[in-house]
Structure 1
Amino acid sequence: MFFSAAAAGVGSHYLSNLVLLTVRYLVFAGVAYVFFWVWRREKWHHRRIQPKFPERKHIDTEIKYSMLTCLIFAMVGAGIFVAKQHGYTLIYNKISDYGWLYMGFSLLVAIVAHDTYFYWTHRFMHIPAVFRHVHRVHHLSHNPSPWASFSFHPLEAVIEACIVPLLVFVLPLHPLTLGVFMMYQMGMNVLGHLGYEPYPQHFLRSRWGRLHNTSTHHNMHHQLVKCNYGLYFNWWDRLMGTNHAKYPERFEKAAGQK
């Protein structure tokens, strides 16, 4: 009886998590796609990073793999739910336990940790044997659309999802902090696969632009493969010398051409 109730609770959490993940993906990627690729397609064409558009079959493939990724991400979420129920995570429910200041601090720590995790797992997935069997699926999108945001091989989806269990096992996090973190990573993921450069031409010359990545940065990674591995920030690419030499030039062209 207890087992059945527990299984029902996990199943219910899995389904709600799956719905939330799928809706979030469809809303973020869908709004970006409709705005840039449909409604403003001609008006913003001068900001296309790669002038040509991918064939419809490539976009269908992106959506198919993204739906599979949502299934896997929901499983990881259900696993975290079970771990929390048994007291294995550091997720806390009362904001007063740590205060608002800590919530902001923990969000920044989670973002920086994810950026570091992503860079090095990304480099790992570019080892030829791993790339061929795992990461190649994501690189089927040589000219990505916003729908490519979750387009991963199942094994890559597991690797991508593992940052959340790692965080909740070592860092006290409030569910609200986790929610904001998920929204941020989804927004930046869509930006990286936007296909357009929304930032102004002077962005890379600003203090924030020297730290933060752009749509051009990740688009070049899809097109050229062996460069620009970072997610949110540019410091790991700078430190490891993996920024493409023509990144500033490509950005200025996409952001400034008329």
Structure 2
Amino acid sequence: MDLVLHLADDYLLDNAWARLLPLNDNLVHSSANFTSIMHHVQQSAWPRDYIPRQIISLIVINLVGVHFLYFLFAWLSYKFIFNHEMMRHPRFLENQVKLEIQSSLQAFPVMTILTLPWFQAEVMGYSQLYDNVEDYGWTYFVLSIPFFLIFTDYGIYWIHRLLHHPSVYKTLHKTHHKWIVPTPFASHAFHPVDGYLQSVPYHLFVFLFPLHRWLYLGLFVFVNFWTIIIHDSDMITGHALETMINGPAHHTLHHLYFTVNYGQYFTWADRVSGSYRQPESSLDPMLDIKKKS
């Protein structure tokens, strides 16, 4: 997020803050000649490294970003991938898409506040994000991608599984399982604490291991994209990577049966921990729609 904040400052926020809280012109120009005045760029009384400015900027950037990614990717998936026949399923709720969107929008502000300390720590230089590929080499750069996915997948697996424990399920995770047959708009329809907890491995990674800034930004976008894609209730089975990749069919079974396929990207944690269920055509929720017809 420090990279995003830097770019936002360069192209937008420096001017916005200068207009909102301008630096006292008398102090700026007291010893300046006419030429320097003419070329002076207006500055803010709150410089870039002023923590209150950083916090407010991060909140705004995060809120704008999460709404943009959510509506862009969820709409694309809903429009071009999601099978709208699934809305005839007997367990599909009345006005469900509207309710999913409302639940997501209610969660975003709280999730943003909860996530803020991680982003602020990045901006203050406490993470291991780096700028130059040469610092660790191209081999590490490439290998850090699967490492990031494996680390976060395993972390999310156990957080997700703990959220299904009876002592916390009703309070936190039940909100998300209201959507038995989800649409892509259900991807972020969480209790905000639930959504935050499942995001912790993504933030934790860059404080434990080096990761290139631009790569982190790309992976962050991919994470949001993947979270939306696996909520399209798709039950396409029989593809080559089905036993390795925790795709939409696996997550559809998770919403239908609750205690299987907790993984985010891969199936290995479910396999090792005994919570894996293989997607089969006989489990396709579309069969219930055909029965209803």
TM-score past 0.5 threshold: yes
Give, in whole Å, the separation in 2 of the partners of 1:50 and 1:221.
Answer: 20
**Partner Cα distance (2:62, 2:200) in 1:** 16
Taking the aligned partners of 1:52 and 1:234, their CA distance within structure 2 comes to: 29
Q: What percentage of residue pairs aligned between the two structures are identical?
A: 26
CA contact (8 A) 2:245 2:266 kept: yes
In structure 1, the residue matched to 2:8 is none
One-letter identity of the residue aligned with 1:129: S
Structure 1 gap segments, 5+ residues each: none
Is the contact between residue 69 and residue 154 of structure 1 (CA under 8 Å) also seen in structure 2? yes
Moved runs in structure 1, 4+ residues, more than 3 A? Answer: 1-5, 48-53, 72-78, 249-254
Task: Tell me the CA shift for residue 167 of structure 1.
Answer: 0.7
- Structure having the larger proportion of residues in helix: 1
| Higher mean C-alpha displacement, 79-88 vs 121-130 | 79-88
Sort the Cα spacing of 1:253 and 1:123 in 2 relative to 1 into closer, same or farther, 3 A: closer
SS at match of 2:130: coil
Between 1 and 2, higher relative CO (CA 8 Å, sep ≥ 6) is seen in 1
Moved more, 133-142 or 54-63: 54-63
Match of 2:185 in 1: 147
Which residue of the partner structure matches residue 125 of structure 1?
163
Shift of 1:51: 4.6
- TM-score, length-normalised on structure 2? 0.73
Q: Give 1:225's aligned residue.
A: 258
1: distance between equivalents of 2:266 and 2:160? 14
SS at match of 1:16: helix
Would the aligned equivalents of 2:115 and 2:196 in 1 still touch at CA under 8 Å?
no
What CA distance in whole angstroms lies between the structure 2 residues aligned with 1:231 and 1:250? Answer: 23
Label 1:84 to 1:241 Cα distance change in 2 as closer, same or farther (>3 A).
closer
Q: CA deviation at 1:196?
A: 2.4
The correspondence of residues 1-258 of structure 1 with structure 2, limited to 5 A, is 5-37=50-82, 41=84, 45=85, 51=89, 54-76=92-114, 78-197=116-235, 199=236, 201-203=237-239, 206=240, 208-244=241-277, 247-250=279-282
Task: State the superposition RMSD in angstroms.
Answer: 2.8
SS of match in other structure, 1:229: coil
In the alignment of these two chains, the number of paired residues is: 243
The Cα shift of 1:138 comes to: 0.5
Segments of structure 2 that go 5 or more residues without pairing to the other structure are 1-44, 287-293
SS at match of 1:106: helix
Offset, 1:53:
7.5
Paired letter, 1:226: T
